[in-house]
Structure 1
Amino acid sequence: MLLHDVVRASAALAATRSRKAKTTVLAGLLTAAPPGELAAAVAFLTGQPTQGRIGAGWRTLAAVRPEPATEPALTVSEVDAALGEVAAASGSGSAKRRADVLGALFGRATSDEQDFLFRLLTGELRHGALEGVMVEGIAAATGVPVEAVRRAFMLSGRLPATASAAMSGGSAALAEFRLELGRPIRPMLASPAESLADALTELGPAVVEYKMDGARIQVHRDGDEVRVWTRTLREITRHVGELVDLVRSLPCESVVLDGETLALTDDGRPRPFQETMSRFGSTREEQVRALLLRPYFFDCLHLDGTDLLDAPLRERNVALRAVAGEHVMPGETEPADPEAILAGSLGAGHEGVLVKDLDSGYAAGRRGRAWLKVKPVHTLDLVVLAAEWGHGRRTGYLSNLHLGARDPDGGPPIMVGKTFKGLTDELLAWQTAEFQRIETRRDDWTVHVRPELVVEIELDGAQMSPRYPGGVALRFARVLRYRPDKDPAEADTIDAVRATVRE
């Protein structure tokens, strides 16, 4: 398959807002792709090479971009092989080797293909929401139920592998994907509720537990081997030795636990989120001096040879309490006084509560209505699109943020507002340096960036407005914090922003 076919499909995806049309484009390309090139084609169209990061940034790519070819000739497999060679380059002379391979690759690419490769390798094609459309495209191309594709993807975490299985073996091949110790699955997510009473009314019999301002973790233990991942499936095992030791001491041989971890003050209150996240980048030597992390587990997905993904929460809770003991997230099953649990969480310095349907299975990777979060302060996770240079005491700093909501149909983030409120001097300095590292273009007042940073915004709802493409504008938006534990695929959608509009 020619790279030109993938580039043409990418352009067709960008040209339409229709989810059905996007699905049709993807299904057509998948059907036409040879088996040996299917995985790479899927990876390219979902915005990331099969190798992940290849060690070449914007400046490297800009420096090696020669005159384009006049006719398309590059194949998908040739591009994949070249990127593999770049990713594997290391040691003395590796920078030159990467430049040589990339220069030769770009020299064989047409102008449109060069543009596509440049955006692919700099992260500008990484619209994570396109994963959902790709799942539907795989289902349409193979005739298997979309839920079967979605489940296989959530268990494998790899869309290219999921697509290859569906195309080669249909539903039977997809059913072979299981929870495997040592291979993380995408976490189940919660949706917001207006109030605790509303959440309890919607769900019926439920668990009500603290919602902490920590970092999501998934822990796998197989005998003495323990591994730990973040919510984005980044492995952090070597940075969190105290969590590894704790899980290794639990009364079991094998387990998969879902939970939160955070650093606490001496009086047991949560330290700022950034302090918890800073541990994930610590070296082994720094761990001795770093703040200790405390885990709170709220779900058990496997215990001693038994997979519990499809078991109801009430059954998973029994397993959780048997294995995690004092490290279970505070809360109660069908509490007599749920408001007291909410008050206790807020009083301890946490965000609120989660209300979870006792009869629900674990929907890996889904943000459904089986888990509902109740927080007194309304917040949204949005994507930074650009920033404007500041004035007055903020002169020389990138300050006013342009904020975008996720397009659920796989398009680029949709701008919904701006804010400079809540930015500390420390954040101003950090984002000024970081935005210039990921910038895509600029004018006299504004630096535009790759849509890869997620920021949590506090707001007083939204209002209908023709000022921004989504038809809504944020009211009194204020920056709470950046969310390095989230990627753009986990940002709130434009529908979530519209849901905050006050009548």
Structure 2
Amino acid sequence: MLLDEVVTTVERVASTRSRLAKVDALASLLGGLAPDEVVPAVGFLIAKPRQGRVGVGWRTLRGGMGDPAGAAALTVLDVDAALERLAGASGSGSAAERASVLADLGSRATAREQDFVSRVILGELRTGALEGVLTDAIARAAERPGDLVRRAAMLSGDLGETARIALTGAPGELDAVGLRVGRPVQPMLAGTAPSAAAALEQVGEASVEFKLDGARIQAHRSGDEVRVFTRNLADVTHRVPEVVDVVRSLPADALILDGETLALDEGGAPRPFQETMSRFGAETGREMLLHPWFFDVLHVDGRDLIDEPLAVRLAELARVAGAHRIPGRVTDDPEVAERVSRDALAAGHEGVVVKGVGAPYAAGRRGASWIKVKPVLTFDLVVLAAEWGSGRRTGLLSNLHLGARDPEGEFGAPGTFVMVGKTFKGLTDELLRFQTERFPEIETRRTEHAVFVEPVTVVEIAIDGVQRSSRYPGGVALRFARVKGYRPDKGPGETDTIQSLRALLRGGDEGGTA
């Protein structure tokens, strides 16, 4: 298949707000792919190529593709092969090799295709074709039940491979997709509530557990072999040897555990999230140890547990994780739930997560049975621009322009980001230096006062609420926004939506007009 057909479909998907129309367009495209094109094409459509990161950034892409071709001739497999060469370039001469591959690819691509490939490499298409829409399209094209395709995608953690099986696999192959130790599973996610008591009212009897301000991990063990994955399913085993040692010491031969890891100070209190993430992302240096805590178990010694109620999973977790289990208490008493929440805050943690004890593990979904409660509202947003600072911040990029995701296209094209405010509060000297070094690398344009960037950098923002605003297109502005820290473990597709911020207006957090 020509890449031009993929680009045309992506443009069609981006131009409509109708979910049905998006599914129809994508299903038609998927149905026309050859078997060996399915996995690469799905990776292109969600801006997650099968090769992962290929070592090329925005600055290299901006000038490295050269003049475009006049006519479409590139195929899906041509682009996949080029990405394979980019990802495989290493050692002495790798920069020159990547430049050569990129120049060759660019010379064979039309202007539309150059833009498309650049956005695929950077992981940012902004088409509104989120993975849920594409999953429905796979089901449509393969004429398979949507629930079956979604479950296979969640348990395999690989939408491309799921599509290949659904479209080209043998009968029964899709039904057979299940948990496999060593293959990461999309994590279950939580909703939000204003208090532990309110959360308990929603889910009934629950396990009320400390919410740690750490990095989400998923640990797999088969015999002495241990692998550790991030929330984005990246393998970070080599970065966390102390976590590997803990998992290897547990009393089981085969395990899949869900949990968090964070660094502690000398008194046993949690260090700031940025310090944990700095250590979590380091290739070298082990002065600051990471401590793992687990809150769920999905598999033990040949037994899959994701469809078992949480009460069953917790019993197994207590047996195998012991002292490495996250603190919590099962209760249906609001007073007890609030007491656990106060204990978590007193220990320096973020709050609690309230989990219904009768619920299964909904891999890859933000279900109603897990609800997080934090005393301060926090949202994951993207940086749209940064303004040059003044005074002691002269020469540094400081004040951030913040954007919320608009997956439905309510305020523009589906998948774009809507500005909701600015802030310079909470920026440490280290963060200011990081911004000043990083943002010019992903710059799209600049003015005298600001550098505008690709919306790919996720930042966690604490707010006191929102208020109606005529200044911003989404009609809402953040109140008393301050930076908690950057979230390199999250991609722009995982950020909070403009709709979730606007919902706070209906909850009474209106304030005045900004």
CA distance in 2, matches of 1:127, 1:15: 8
The letter for the 1-side match of 2:353 is: L
Cα deviation digits, residues 319-372 of structure 1 (max 9, x gap):
000111111111111265222111111111111111001111111111121100
CA distance in 1, matches of 2:365, 2:381: 18
| Distance change (3 Å), C-alpha of 1:260 and 1:347 | same
Cα deviation digits, residues 23-43 of structure 1 (max 9, x gap):
222112112222221222211
Cα deviation digits, residues 370-410 of structure 1 (max 9, x gap):
10011111111111122122233322221221212223346
Identify which range, 459-468 or 215-224, moves more after superposition: 459-468
Alpha carbons 2:59, 2:442 under 8 Å: kept: no
Partner of 2:501: 497
Cα deviation digits, residues 66-96 of structure 1 (max 9, x gap):
3322221111112212222232233443333
Q: Which residue of the other structure, out of 306, 315, 324, is the alignment partner of 1:309?
A: 306
Identify which range, 93-102 or 477-486, moves more after superposition: 93-102
Q: Secondary structure at the match of 1:401?
A: strand
Alpha carbons 1:123, 1:450 under 8 Å: kept: no
| Distance change (3 Å), C-alpha of 1:479 and 1:311 | same
* Seq. identity, %: 58
The letter for the 1-side match of 2:363 is: A
CA distance in 2, matches of 1:416, 1:388: 16
2:488 equivalent to 1:488: no
Partner of 2:426: 422
Alpha carbons 2:165, 2:173 under 8 Å: kept: yes
Q: Secondary structure at the match of 2:83?
A: helix
The letter for the 2-side match of 1:222 is: S
How many residues are aligned here? 500
Task: Using structure 2 for the length normalisation, give the TM-score.
Answer: 0.92
CA distance in 2, matches of 1:170, 1:200: 45
Q: Secondary structure at the match of 2:257?
A: strand
Identify which range, 403-412 or 433-442, moves more after superposition: 403-412
The letter for the 2-side match of 1:467 is: R
Partner of 2:21: 21
Partner of 1:101: 101
Partner of 1:144: 144
The letter for the 2-side match of 1:325 is: G
2:335 equivalent to 1:331: no
2:368 equivalent to 1:369: yes
Cα deviation digits, residues 442-480 of structure 1 (max 9, x gap):
222222222222111111211233432323221221111
Identify which range, 403-412 or 416-425, moves more after superposition: 403-412
CA distance in 2, matches of 1:466, 1:30: 42
CA distance in 1, matches of 2:385, 2:203: 39
Partner of 1:459: 463
Alpha carbons 1:128, 1:489 under 8 Å: kept: no
The letter for the 1-side match of 2:478 is: L
Alpha carbons 1:454, 1:487 under 8 Å: kept: yes
Identify which range, 471-480 or 60-69, moves more after superposition: 60-69
Q: Which residue of the other structure, out of 406, 409, 415, is the alignment partner of 1:411?
A: 415
Q: Secondary structure at the match of 1:137?
A: helix
1:11-410 equivalences under 5 Å are 11-125=11-125, 130-169=130-169, 172-283=172-283, 286-287=285-286, 290-334=287-331, 336=333, 337-409=336-408
The letter for the 1-side match of 2:502 is: R
| Distance change (3 Å), C-alpha of 1:126 and 1:237 | farther
CA distance in 2, matches of 1:59, 1:355: 44
Alpha carbons 1:435, 1:449 under 8 Å: kept: yes
Alpha carbons 2:156, 2:177 under 8 Å: kept: yes
For residue 126 of structure 1, report the CA deviation from its aligned partner. Answer: 6.7
Q: Secondary structure at the match of 2:459?
A: strand
CA distance in 2, matches of 1:88, 1:325: 42
| Distance change (3 Å), C-alpha of 1:101 and 1:264 | closer
| Distance change (3 Å), C-alpha of 1:108 and 1:417 | same
CA distance in 2, matches of 1:56, 1:269: 39
CA distance in 2, matches of 1:153, 1:324: 28
CA distance in 1, matches of 2:95, 2:406: 37
| Distance change (3 Å), C-alpha of 1:296 and 1:171 | farther
| Distance change (3 Å), C-alpha of 1:472 and 1:87 | same
For residue 147 of structure 1, report the CA deviation from its aligned partner. Answer: 2.2
| Distance change (3 Å), C-alpha of 1:128 and 1:274 | farther
Alpha carbons 1:30, 1:138 under 8 Å: kept: yes
Q: Secondary structure at the match of 2:144?
A: coil
Q: Secondary structure at the match of 2:416?
A: coil
CA distance in 2, matches of 1:127, 1:273: 31
The letter for the 1-side match of 2:459 is: V
| Distance change (3 Å), C-alpha of 1:149 and 1:413 | farther
Cα deviation digits, residues 81-114 of structure 1 (max 9, x gap):
2222232233443333332232222112222112
Alpha carbons 2:14, 2:127 under 8 Å: kept: no
| Distance change (3 Å), C-alpha of 1:407 and 1:141 | farther
For residue 129 of structure 1, report the CA deviation from its aligned partner. Answer: 7.0
Gaps of at least 5 residues in structure 2 are 409-413
Alpha carbons 1:46, 1:126 under 8 Å: kept: no
* RMSD (Å), alpha carbons: 2.0
Identify which range, 298-307 or 170-179, moves more after superposition: 170-179
Alpha carbons 2:30, 2:138 under 8 Å: kept: yes
| Distance change (3 Å), C-alpha of 1:489 and 1:124 | closer
For residue 308 of structure 1, report the CA deviation from its aligned partner. Answer: 0.5
For residue 494 of structure 1, report the CA deviation from its aligned partner. Answer: 1.9
| Distance change (3 Å), C-alpha of 1:224 and 1:187 | same
For residue 145 of structure 1, report the CA deviation from its aligned partner. Answer: 2.6
The letter for the 2-side match of 1:400 is: N
Task: Using structure 1 for the length normalisation, give the TM-score.
Answer: 0.94
For residue 14 of structure 1, report the CA deviation from its aligned partner. Answer: 2.3
Alpha carbons 2:14, 2:128 under 8 Å: kept: no
Q: Which residue of the other structure, out of 482, 485, 499, is the alignment partner of 1:478?
A: 482
| Distance change (3 Å), C-alpha of 1:201 and 1:124 | closer
The letter for the 2-side match of 1:497 is: L
Alpha carbons 2:205, 2:332 under 8 Å: kept: no
The letter for the 2-side match of 1:132 is: G
CA distance in 2, matches of 1:500, 1:443: 33
| Distance change (3 Å), C-alpha of 1:19 and 1:389 | farther
Partner of 2:411: none
| Distance change (3 Å), C-alpha of 1:456 and 1:58 | closer
Cα deviation digits, residues 161-218 of structure 1 (max 9, x gap):
1111111248833222211111111111111112222111110111111111121111
